Every structure is written in C-alpha cells, then in structure tokens.
Amino acid sequence: MHGSAASPVDAGPTEPIVEFAEVTPYEQYVGVRQLQALVRPVTDHPAEPSFLVVTQIMELWFTLLRREWELAQRRLRADDLDGAVAAIRRSVHHLRSLNASWGSLLWLTPTEFNGFREQLGEASGFQSYEYRHVEFLLGLKAESVVRPHRALPAVHADLQRALEGPSLEDDVLAFLARHGLAVPAEVLERDRTVPHEAHPAVTELWAGIYRDPRPGNELFALGEALTDVAEEFTTWRQRHVTAVRRAMGAKPGTGGSAGLAWLERSAARVVFPDLWAARTVL
C-alpha cells in the first residue's frame, strides 16, 4: 500500500547483524563456550579428544531420545496416537545419528586406545545414567544398574522412578487395551521392574494388526515405528560390541565389568519382543 512501511519481505537483501551489545544470540542459545569447556582430556594422547567428544555427543543423543519417548508416553496417555507416533518416528532419526557416531571411532586401534585407557581409571560407559533411562524406556529393566548412582540422590531417585514406572511398550499396551484390544490383565498389571517377555496373547494381538497393512491402519503404523526403534537401537548395541572388540578385545572393562562378554549378553536382550514374535506367527 502506498505510504506504508516496507515489510521484511519487500525490503530485499540485507546485511547480517554484526554488532551486539553482549555475546551473540547464537552463543547465548547454544552455549558454545560451555560445550568447549567440557572437552577436558586427561592425557596428551591425540586419540583421546575424539573418544571423549564422541562419548559426550552420545550422551546428548541419549537425552534427546529420552525426551522423545517420554513425550510419546504422555501422548499415548492422552490418547493422541498421532502425536505419539510422530515422536517415535523422530526418535528413529535420532537413533540413526547416534549409530553414525561410531564412525568417528572406527580408526581407533588397540595401541591408540591403550595410550589413554589406563588414565580413565574406573570410568565406564556402564555408569551412564542417561543410557539407563533409554534402556528402561525400552523395557530393558534391571535394578542392579541403578545402584552405582546412589551417591547422586536426585539421579538415583530419577532412575528408580524409571525402573518402577511403565516403559514405552507398557504405555502402548495400555493404549491398545483402552481402545478395545484384548491385552491380558497379567500383562497390564505386571511388575514393571522386570523386562516384559513375549506373551502369546500380545503376540497374536500384534499379528492381527499386521494382517491389515492398509495405509489407514494407524496401529500398523505404530507397530512399524516401534520396530524401527528396536532395530536401530539393536544396531547401536551391536556396533558398540564391535567397537569394543576392535579397540580392546576381550579385556575386562574399566568399570569392573566383564567388558566384551558383558556387552554381548546385554546386546542379546530383545526390545519389543511381541512385535518380533508376531512375525513368526503370521
């Protein structure tokens, strides 16, 4: 309109803002200096910074996965299936990026790892409490992995709540039950602190959903999104086993675990067992 101020769209190309009274808004939002300050190697070995930064990046991915799956749980409890599936699908992309993080450590040889491994002391990925939250949300429960965090009361209490609370799978099954599917009471009311094993009735329930793969079947889409999560998470655990085998072989872990043997047992645990069992009965 004649005489009106030009809108940002009408103004044409402009120069970027280069003068700020304080730090840049990007620095305020991202916290670059805080992130850089967290890169604190304990040796001068040139391989250690990569190992440390990749580990820290994985912790951030764990945090993001936890947020997505807890959001999916809230959406399921509100009977918002679309919102839950959207969060689960986003998490699949996060898992793929988490898996890709191993690529930055593929070059790490046993000699290079041994160059700083002893200086890690008793520090071990076994002690990652955010990873434990991820496992618990996927139904991989174990009371023993909560114990190392007793010295941090808030963290310990948070993990204990996650151990005793419903997993993502539990909330999915509760959603299905509310919408008329025959989920057995012993499954809905089971002890949440132990992993859910495949149950014949739940397996058949998923098989029934999978017998109707039409595009409009929202429960089929939910099952496939959950299967993608299980597959990508399993891939991460398998790549973890391979990375450990490549860098240190079968030595005991720095945190006192059996190292490779412990990881192999852990990686064998099945995420969403009924979804996999349903494929056998179809």
What is the end-to-end Cα distance of the chain in Å, rounded? 65
Distance CA 139, CA 13 (A): 52
C-alpha dihedral sign at 249, 263, 230, 127? negative
- What residue type is 37 in one-letter code? A
C-alpha dihedral sign at 159, 164, 133, 26? negative
Residue among 147, 130, 199 at smallest CA distance from 169: 199
From the annotation, which residues make up the binding site for substrate? 117, 254
From the annotation, which residues make up the binding site for heme? 240
Distance CA 24, CA 39 (A): 22
Distance CA 189, CA 59 (A): 32
Distance CA 159, CA 131 (A): 10
From the annotation, which residues make up the binding site? 117, 240, 254
Residue among 111, 101, 126, 46 at smallest CA distance from 248: 111
What does the block give as tokens for 87? 């969060």
- What residue type is 258 in one-letter code? A
Cα 41 to Cα 102, 111, 115, distances in angstroms: 19, 17, 12
